[in-house]
Structure 1
């Protein structure tokens, strides 16, 4: 039965589902949304959509973008995906200053805390590194090719982040592992020193994020397919606390949603001070808010912000200056999906801080479209359309997939002996030998 379901997912394209992504500039200067091969950026300071420029002579993204991120100071932005391209942008001009070609499809990308390096992970679980230089990639020669620095041994890396102090790089995979690696002074020679492993998830790890308690102390928060949010002392690889999502979600979901795989964690986003964690859950129309007591090392339920039934967030982001939580819904690589259907929907939580989102706060939890900063200009630029009816029609087609797609995409596939032999005969290396 399991083999049949997986094979159907492969044929239909659900296993290749690509969620829409959102990223916010650390100082609130801009916000970016990626859906399919499209990268949409809005300048919040000027109040207009950004026209992306290409300075490298490279090609634009031609397939689904799988990860996007800003650098710690917001000066750089990176995008990467299924077209095997990693593109680095300067955010003051939004010119692409570096286009890097990967040997395999890219699943995660990150910029080092000091802004000198960009790392990306491919579908074989290998992490590659490219030097950017002191003032951006324009000072690096074109023959600066990627070098491999670490690997997860053929396990797809699902998320990758640098620690706030830049000392470590954390990588998570679909085989339940989180590796904390010491980021060396000369990473071009490889990152061979493993600080710790954070082991405890019982299904794929879908998202990781650092949260800082002070200048010299931070913790790691992770979410996965086992429906848990976990708090880690990542330096020592110690699990500090586990919050089980399904304990709070049963009464909020439809009666027919009982399988734990339908409660996979889609994304997590800590608040600026680390006291709150927003959680997007596969199949749930809203976000769950947890309090994070970094002194007591405890995760606790605060509340749920419920959105319309047709809205399931696929990605979350926040910035240090605006105190807003950005959420986006959308997908690409769906069966029979045309390029004109690459629409997204944005919902913004205006006061993403503990005191204003407590149970006693009575203010609006979500901004209406008319209250969104820069209004229709921003929505048109990032959503692709202002026609709510059209959005509903397009997003309704991906709603069912959003409830199950993450598990189908990341769960390790199991095949019958007969099916394994069929796949072996179809492999390219076997064909070439014959």
Structure 2
């Protein structure tokens, strides 16, 4: 009876809810939203939804990462079905369907668009060569990636390429950020580590590069479960500045206990020259806007952009390099309506731009639904339905909070619980008496 109770408790604890994700084409030609196994795309140029062409029928389980390439010619998606799908955005045909041994947690596309990298839950990063993808007569490839590098048994939470394409940066659940030289022949592996960025006290959840014409190599910003955003000289691994965003957003209290879980930074998004960084925080109804000063290597808070009309806590944010709009989505794979459609909520913030050429700070405001580009048709495609009740928003917020805690915070077990788990281990069962 006791064992059954413990087993049910473990199953409940380990249920992982996937947050809704959003990705914006570099020129804002397309907006992509994933929720559960659904991949929804909207063409802002002609004002219609996009039909995906995939001989294998799309994803079968929750999508964990979506990404456009630097030029927007490629789009990649991956997740719990152990598949990485690479799409040609001209035709929206799936040109590669790559099989992973484990569930995929993150992916990135190299700056030259020759390689796609993805990480699995065991801490291994794989690379796929996509240089011949534009051969129209080539059959759809079902293949495996080639191991590139690994973190020792630690879930990799985010992959990013440096702006110059020289480095690939990996962040993990064990507070580490690793900067690795991306080799000229990546199919042979990446063996040269440039640096480690160490300083976070909880899992690293997101990364964003900050660069400009004057600072082409740029700096690295990271968000974490310790409720901070940190600024790094990633080439040397030096910590330059720390911004306690949880405290500055009023989400932490003076009487907070040490063992209480801090509100995690869930996503970061920087403007094209890196002077502004939008920060999504687990319990914040809106986003925090930071200023990054590349000359002094500092972070400072500009303002909190609140969304007060409804309970909207972004699970993912994104922006193009050419349009001053910040796109946000909120949702979770467990959130369904009465007709079983997975629901997401999309909001947009205007004025998300660099101010290097102006003397007055651009006005930041949350757009009404009718002010969003393409308005109702876009929301109908990306959200699943136009009207979403307040109760659904609260459910989504709690589901994503639980999901991130279960996925990324290491579980602590009592001595009794550890003994019970040992009894179910395969290596223990397979041992024979001496």
Which residue of the partner structure matches residue 45 of structure 1? 45
CA drift of 1:207 comes to: 0.3
- Report the Cα distance in structure 1 between the residues aligned to 2:62 and 2:339, rounded to whole angstroms: 12
Identify the residue that residue 3 of structure 2 maps to in structure 1. none
3-state SS in 2 of match to 1:18: coil
The Cα of 1:136 is off from its aligned counterpart by 4.1
Select 1:122's aligned residue among 116, 120, 123: 120
Query: Do the aligned partners of residues 236 and 145 (structure 1) sit closer, same or farther apart at CA in structure 2, a change above 3 Å counting?
Result: same
- In the TM superposition, residue 331 of structure 1 has moved relative to its aligned partner by 0.4
Alignment of 1:203-282 (within 5 A): 203-214=202-213, 216-250=216-250, 261-282=261-282
Once the two structures are superposed, the pairs formed by residues 156-235 of structure 1 within 5 Å of their partners are 156-214=155-213, 216-235=216-235
**Is the contact between residue 325 and residue 348 of structure 1 (CA under 8 Å) also seen in structure 2?**
yes
Contact 1:206 1:225 in 2 (8 A): yes
1:235-267 Cα shifts (integer Å, max 9, x gaps): 1111111101133122x6799987762411011
Answer whether contact 1:75 1:91 (CA < 8 A) is retained: yes
> Partners in 2 of 1:257 and 1:312 — Cα distance?
22
Map Cα deviations across residues 79-124 of structure 1 (whole Å, 9 max, x no partner). 0001111100011111111101111011011111111111110100
DSSP 3-state at the match of 1:423: helix
Partners of 2:289 and 2:13 in 1: how far apart? Answer: 32
Q: Distance in 2 between matches of 1:243 and 1:297?
A: 12
**Relative to 1, partners in 2 of residues 1:36 and 1:359: Cα closer, same or farther, differing over 3 Å?**
farther
Residue 417 of structure 1, CA deviation: 2.8
SS of 1:46's equivalent in the other structure is coil
Give the distance between the partners of 1:137 and 1:68, measured in 2 at CA.
Answer: 23
Name the CA distance, whole Å, in 1 between partners of 2:376 and 2:164. Answer: 38
Measured in 2, the distance between the counterparts of 1:361 and 1:9 equals: 51
1:295-348 Cα deviation digits (max 9, x unpaired): 1110001000001351110001000111210010000146x9888241000110
**Equivalences, count:** 422
Distance 1:366 1:230 in 2: 26
Is the Cα–Cα contact under 8 Å of residues 64 and 333 in structure 1 kept in the other structure?
no
Asked whether the equivalents of residues 110 and 165 of structure 2 are also in contact (C-alpha less than 8 Å), the reply is: yes
- Shift in Å, 1:228: 0.7
- Residues 1:64 and 2:62 are matched in the alignment: yes
Kindly tell me: are residues 96 and 412 of structure 1, through their superposed partners in 2, closer, same or farther at Cα, counting changes over 3 Å? same
Change (3 A) 1:367 1:340: same
Q: State whether structure 2 residue 333 is matched by structure 1 residue 332.
A: yes
Tell me which moved more, 227-236 or 9-18. Answer: 9-18
Go from structure 1 to structure 2 and tell me whether the alpha carbon gap of 1:15 and 1:218 turns closer, same or farther (over 3 Å shift): farther
Unmatched segments (≥5 aa) in structure 2: 1-5
Aligned to 1:91: 89
| Structure 2 SS opposite 1:407 | helix
Q: 1:396: Cα distance to partner?
A: 2.8
Whole-angstrom CA distance in 1 between matches of 2:287 and 2:13? 27
Q: Deviations over 1:164-209 (max 9, x none)?
A: 1111100000000000000000011100100100011111000011
The Cα of 1:429 is off from its aligned counterpart by 5.2
The secondary structure found in structure 2 opposite 1:418 is helix
- Change beyond 3 A, Cα 1:242–1:253: closer
Q: Is the 8 A contact 1:27 1:321 kept in 2?
A: yes
Q: How does the TM-score come out when normalised to structure 2? A: 0.90
Q: Is the 8 A contact 2:108 2:118 kept in 1?
A: yes
Aligned mates of 2:135, 2:66 — CA distance in 1: 17
Instruction: Indicate conservation of the 8 Å contact 1:209/1:269, yes or no.
Output: yes
Task: Tell me the secondary structure at the aligned position of residue 408 of structure 1.
Answer: helix
Q: Please state whether the residue corresponding to 1:242 is helix, strand or coil.
A: strand
Note the residue ranges of structure 1 that are not aligned, 5 or more in a row: 1-5
Aligned 8 A contact 1:213 1:273 in 2: yes
What is the alpha-carbon distance in structure 1 between the residues aligned to residue 288 and residue 225 of structure 2? 16
> Does the CA contact (< 8 Å) of 2:274 and 2:354 recur in 1?
no
Q: Which secondary structure does the structure 2 equivalent of 1:53 belong to?
A: coil
Separation (CA, whole Å) in 1 of partners of 2:328 and 2:256? 23
TM-score under structure 1 length normalisation: 0.90
Q: Does structure 1 conserve the Cα–Cα contact (< 8 Å) formed by 2:227 and 2:245?
A: yes
Measure the CA separation in 2 of the matches of 1:51 and 1:9. 41
411-420 or 118-127, larger mean C-alpha shift: 411-420
Partner of 1:420: 418
Q: Secondary structure of the residue that 2:365 maps to in structure 1? A: coil
Q: Using a 3 Å threshold, how does the CA distance of structure 1 residues 44 and 257 change in structure 2: closer, same or farther?
A: farther
